[in-house]
Chain A
Amino acid sequence: MKLNTLFLGLCGASALAFAAHAETITIATVNNGDMVRMQKLTDDFTAKNPDIQLEWVTLEENVLRERVTTDIATKGGQYDVVTIGNYEVPIWAKQQWLLPLDKLGADYDVDDILPSIRGGISLDGKLYAAPFYGESAMIMYRKDLMEKAGLTMPEKPTWEFIADAARKMTDRAADINGICLRGKAGWGENMALLTAMSNSFGASWFDEKWQPQFDQPEWKNTLQFYVDLMKDAGPQGASSNGFNENLTLFGQGKCGMWIDATVAASKLSDPKESSVSDKIGFAIFPDTGNGNHGNWLWSWNLAVPASSQKGEAAQKFVSWATSKGYTELVASKEGWVSAPPGTRTSLYNSEDYKKAAAFAGPTLAAMDAADITKPSVKPVPYTGGQFVAIPEFQGLGTTVGQLFSAALAGQSSVDDALAGAQTAAVREMTRAGYIK
């Protein structure tokens, strides 16, 4: 016991000694390419702020999410800046776990942030996180294969057209799958796609009284359509494919179409990462003639936990990493194509960016089309596009995702999967007190 106290004392003393030199802020980030790039460019920040030192915690998305959530909910105070999605921001802001960002500096230009993104990370008019990059979803397709199939992509394709084109583009002998879609279980994997897809099919997760809707025909149409389409035109082992796997498949030229996050476009347009960089066309997320294009909207944001002792320094960093200046820094070092997309209007007004990135227009169009305040054509009590913005969604979404991936893998029927999802959702929502 004594030894323990001694050690604690020593640790405390060394921490104090360190703090006297400079303020160290701890930043938790997800290990995707844009975040890793930010980590490499921080010399620019430390040069401007010599009194602030940065410590990085880089983790894969799921581990990061559970680490940060546990810490912030128990007020552990381990992080000064956290990377979180627009799913968490409103939920956490409501719990007062996040500092409102009011010290971002005079030249930050909050009004430049895309309105749809800004809406998702604000609560009662206050900004609780700053967007690092944003995305919607769209169709990415191979122009050459589309032509070969004798088709042209309409301006606003319907799912019917997509299914027809996918089947025509499929050429098993040449290892070309008409369509690649996410199938791996998880609320942020297959359920992101299926939730957005169900929106465009006119379905919703809950009705106005929070009754789960998996027993409704719209969901049956969505899932049946998805399973049939993937069976006819999807790749082998689709039920293990997430964003990463599909990115690789498409980059290797094995997919005719891929409907997924818009950030994929910049990776597919990079000849170093993709063998089809010059043959890609883009189109808006399909609908079923009802004008609902899925409403997929995601942003990775930087936020400052209320439990941080170094709020001011942390905000300085957040401001730097999400500023126009950072975009220009990336552009000057790695070219405009690599600029973090989907957060600022000014980027999409930049002639340099439009020239360098063919996907700039389609991306902006997709983001403008997404309305997370009204995800479904039916009236619903929740917000969120490819997710439902309630705390219970992570657990419930993953359970439902497991059941749906079983249907895709052929381990269960579509009806069984839907019935299972309905049971699970009713249970969870009753327990959480939504269903009285």
Chain B
Amino acid sequence: MARAVSTNRKIGFTVAAWVVALLIFFPILYTIITSFKSETEAIAGFSLIPSGTLESYAEVQAQSNYFKFFLNSVIIAVGSTILALVVAVPAAWSMAFSPTKRTKDILMWMLSTKMMPAVAVLVPIYLIFRDTNLLDTRIGLTVMLMLINLPIVVWMLYTYFREIPGEILEAARMDGATLWGEIVYVLTPMAVPGIASTMLLNIILAWNEAFWTIRLTTTNAAPLTAFIASFSSPQGLFWAKLSAASTLAIAPILIMGWFSQRQLVRGLTFGAVK
């Protein structure tokens, strides 16, 4: 009897959750569906069944070379993430294990650097990039995105490291472990999940950054955000084409997100779990 009730409950929850999930996912789903329609179909009214034409994709590819933009997105997102981790891991580490009175203030200050509206500093940054020959270079954009996301990365790592119990370090030290041994054998295994999810979040944020990636690039370093900017609002309503371009732009990160969601979830606590 009890079992039947719980199965019923489970079915109830399943239905509710699927309905909500599909509603939330619907705009993405509809974009993907529309990308397989022809232009006339796309504005002909609601329909979930596309004719399955690939003409929009062919046209998008004919107009812009997707793979060049894709490659830049990968390089910039991954590069800036690695760079950010290299800088942030030691900082978060020392904040977590040797906190001082000012640690919290430094953290808050770091977050506050994100509060300047990007558009207000466009001209200063553009001038700096021009003078350092960094305009339209991948390295310039990589450094830029690293700086933008660094505060979040430091904070996330800090909250994660803080949960590693200090006693383990003490114990390892008692056993005569060197500092190096301490890091390699004791801490790294414990820190890896946190670092991994930080990395994932940062890749997502860098991939989706759509202000600087358009304003500071021309051709060589232009990532997928610039690719999208070449398909929005042309003359005429080309929604199938726009959908195809959108699908292409979000597909890689969406797939990465799907495959790594467990990893992402595990570390995405910001110290919220005690």
Where the two chains meet, the residues of A that have a C-beta atom closer than 8 Å to any C-beta of B are: 4, 7-8, 11-12, 26, 28, 31-33, 36, 39-40, 55-63, 66-67, 70-71, 74-79, 242-245, 247-248, 252, 263, 267, 273
Given the contacts A57-B222, A67-B214, A248-B43, A267 and B135 also touching, CB distance less than 8 Å = no
Q: Is the interface of B mostly helix, strand, loop or mixed?
A: loop
How far is B133's CA from A7's CA once the two chains are assembled, in angstroms?
11
Chain B positions near chain A (C-beta within 8 angstroms): 43, 62-64, 122-123, 126-127, 130, 132-137, 139, 143, 214-215, 218-219, 222, 226, 229-237
Given A8-B133, A63-B229, A39 and B63 touching (CB < 8 A)?
A: yes
Q: Is the CB of A59 within 8 A of B230?
A: yes
With A4-B139, A8-B139, A39-B63 already in contact, the answer to whether A60 and B229 are too (CB < 8 A) is: yes
Q: Identify B130's interface contact among A33, A39, A76, CB under 8 A.
A: A76
Q: What are 23 residue pairs bridging A and B, where the CB atoms are less than 8 Å apart in the complex? A: A7-B139, A8-B133, A11-B133, A11-B139, A12-B133, A28-B218, A32-B234, A36-B234, A57-B218, A58-B63, A59-B226, A59-B229, A60-B232, A60-B234, A67-B214, A70-B122, A70-B126, A70-B215, A74-B123, A76-B135, A244-B234, A247-B235, A248-B237
Cα distance, A61 to B229, chains bound together (Å): 9
In contact, B218 and A79 (Cβ under 8 angstroms): yes
Q: Is the beta-carbon distance between A31 and B136 smaller than 8 angstroms?
A: no
Nearest residue (CB) in B for A66 is B215
User: Complex formed: what's the CA distance from A273 to B237 in Å?
Assistant: 10
Tell me whether A56 and B219 are in contact in the complex, defined as CB-CB below 8 angstroms, given that A63-B214, A74-B130 are known contacts. yes
Distance of A88 Cα from B95 Cα, bound (Å): 53
Q: Within the complex, what minimum Cβ distance (angstroms) separates A47 from chain B?
A: 19
Which residues of the other chain, A, contact B234 by a CB distance below 8 angstroms?
A: 31-33, 36, 60, 244
Given contacts A12-B133, A248-B236, 8 further A-B contacts (CB under 8 A): A8-B133, A8-B137, A28-B218, A57-B218, A57-B222, A57-B226, A70-B123, A76-B135
Q: Which residues of B contact A243 (CB under 8 A)?
A: 235
Contact B236 A33 (CB under 8 A): yes
Q: How far is the CA of A12 from the CA of B133 in the complex (A)?
A: 9
CA distance A7 to B130 in the complex (A): 16
| A26 and B218 in contact, given A39-B63, A248-B43 (Cβ under 8 angstroms) | yes
- What is the minimal beta-carbon distance from A69 to any residue of chain B, in angstroms? 11
The 7 tightest CB contacts between A and B, nearest first, are A58-B230, A32-B235, A7-B139, A31-B234, A78-B218, A55-B219, A248-B237
Closest to A252 in B: B43
CA distance A210 to B134 in the complex (A): 42
* Docked CA distance A62–B219 (Å): 18
A76 to B, closest residue via Cβ: B130
Residue of B nearest to A32 (CB): B235
Closest to B119 in A: A66
B235 touches A40 (CB 8 A): no
Complex formed: what's the CA distance from A193 to B99 in Å? 63
Contact status A273-B236, CB under 8 Å: yes
**Chain B residues with CB under 8 A of A28:** 218
B139 to chain A minimum Cβ distance, whole angstroms, is 4
Given the complex of chains A and B, what is the CA–CA distance between A191 and B133 in angstroms?
A: 39
Residue of A nearest to B234 (CB): A31
The answer, among A61, A67, A76, for a CB contact under 8 Å with B233, is A61
Chain A residues near B126 (CB-CB < 8 A): 70-71, 74, 76
Cβ–Cβ contact A245 & B237, under 8 A: yes
Q: How far is the CB of B145 from chain A (nearest CB, A)?
A: 15
Alpha-carbon gap, A31 to B133, bound state (A): 28
With a cutoff of 8 Å between Cβ atoms, the chain B residues found around residue A74 in the complex are: 123, 126-127, 130
Q: How far is the CA of A430 from the CA of B206 in the complex (A)?
A: 42
Cα A261 to Cα B115 with chains together (Å): 42
Closest residue of A by beta carbon distance from B237: A248
Interchain nearest-CB distance for A398 vs B (Å): 15
